[in-house]
Amino acid sequence: MNIVHVAAHQDDEAHSLGTLLKYRNQGGHRIHLICTTNGDKGMSFSPEIPLAEAAKIRNREMREVAAALGARYSCLGASDEFLYDTEEMRMKLIDALRECEADLIFTHWPRDYNLDHNTTSTLVFQCSMNSIIASMQSAHPALKVTPKVFYWDVGDGFGFEGTHFVELDEETIREKARIIRLHKSQMEVMRKIGPDFADMAVDRARLTGARVGVPYAEAFRPCLASRRTPLANMLP
């Protein structure tokens, strides 16, 4: 199966990283990571770092994450905090999904605390269906079947209620934390804001696991729109 993770920012994969690790460990899958923005505003408290340099740093960190997952990474290149649903961005994502031959997509819940996240979710909703429309021509041929979509857990306060849960064991949760820490620049940013980013992800996985009686878990919700609805057994 071709699994595509479409996120706004480098580090957003933290929400479903344990699940991606389970796919990797199963074998037989191809994992693709796509970011819609380039990370240029990622050095939030270091205005002396040029935006282009910040984007290079975050790109390098994301490639380290992709290597740890055995995944392929690509970036659609929008500027952080200035992502819009345009014809150009739709066509970029449509072609990226076609190039990946996407079967299953993980992405943001449509209502979130950041407009880049919301716009990415909107783009996935539209482009997953448009990826099969051959008259919308791009560099790669149209897909035969509409990719299915799962939304990951955005946290409390945004109307997300998980319906599908993926159990994670101790080894997977340790590897999840290790890979999150490859985003060294963002670890520094988060330390200035509050709790350790990786520790926070582990704590959320522990709380999610407690809901379903396992040590750790990640929660998802399927897109229920026509042609995009995944089967539960597509999760590992």
Predicted pLDDT of residue 157: 94
Predicted pLDDT of residue 195: 82
Least confident of 24-28, 31-35, 59-63, 186-190: 186-190
Closest CA relative to residue 75, chosen from 85, 87, 63 = 63
Q: Per-residue pLDDT averaged across 194-201, rounded?
A: 89
Q: Per-residue pLDDT averaged across 149-154, rounded?
A: 97
Q: In which band, very low, low, confident or very high, does the pLDDT at 194 lie, cut at 50, 70 and 90?
A: confident
Q: In which band, very low, low, confident or very high, does the pLDDT at 34 lie, cut at 50, 70 and 90?
A: very high
pLDDT at 190 over 90: no
CB atoms within 10 A of CB 22: 18
Distance CA 107, CA 151 (A): 5
Least confident of 19-23, 151-155, 193-197: 193-197
Distance CA 202, CA 47 (A): 30
Predicted pLDDT of residue 44: 87
Closest CA relative to residue 203, chosen from 186, 217, 187 = 217
The counts of H helices and E strands in the chain are 7, 7
Closest CA relative to residue 74, chosen from 27, 10, 21 = 10
Q: In which band, very low, low, confident or very high, does the pLDDT at 136 lie, cut at 50, 70 and 90?
A: very high
Percent over 90 (pLDDT), the chain: 93
| DSSP string over 110-129 | SS-S-HHHHHHHHHHHHHHH
pLDDT per position as a tens digit, 76-126 = 999 999 999 999 999 999 999 999 999 999 999 999 999 999 999 999 999
Taking domain 2-228, whether its CATH number is 3.40.50.10320 is answered by: yes
Distance CA 227, CA 194 (A): 41
- For the chain, give every domain's residue range: 2-228
Predicted pLDDT of residue 134: 98
Residue 65: burial class (beta carbons within 10 Å; 0-12, 13-18, 19+): buried
Distance CA 42, CA 54 (A): 6
β partners of residue 32: 4, 72
Q: Output the six-digit token pair for 72.
A: 């392929």
Residue 54: burial class (beta carbons within 10 Å; 0-12, 13-18, 19+): buried
Distance CA 79, CA 216 (A): 34
